[in-house]
Amino acid sequence: MSGAPSGRVVELDLRGLLCPLPVIRVQDRVAELAPGDEVVAVCSDPGALNDIPAWCKINGHFVLWKGERDGDYVVHLRVGGHRE
């Protein structure tokens, strides 16, 4: 995990994975990022639209946008100050 926010936006292709794997992949990637970094999780499991935001809420991250895009289910989040 790095210290200072880099302002980077990381896209994760999580299509084909069923929950909770998209949550686990987001969780593991976020652990390597700094507060303020962003993750765009692209999923095929519609459950990700509930599960990733729920995970963000309890772990102190922020959902910037969630919804359907080109047939995929997308959650865009910003890493919060709370670390894993």
The reply to whether 59 sits near another protein by the rule CB under 8 A is yes
CA distances from 16 to 28, 39, 69, 79 (A): 18, 18, 16, 24
Confirm or reject binding of residue 58 to another protein (CB under 8 A): yes
Active site residue 43: no
3-state SS track over 29-82: HHCCCCCCCEEEEEECCCCHHHHHHHHHHHHCCEEEEEEEECCEEEEEEECCCC
Pick the piece of the chain touching another protein (CB under 8 A) from 2-10, 11-19, 32-40, 62-70: 11-19
Q: Which of 4-12, 39-47, 62-70 is the region at the interface with another protein (rule: CB under 8 A)? A: 39-47
- Active site residue: 5, 10, 17, 19, which one? 19
Name which of 26 and 37 has its Cβ closer to another protein: 26
What is the distance between the alpha carbons of residues 56 and 49, in angstroms, rounded to a whole number? Answer: 11
Q: Nearest approach, Cβ of 50 to another protein (angstroms)?
A: 6
- What positions carry a catalytic annotation? 19
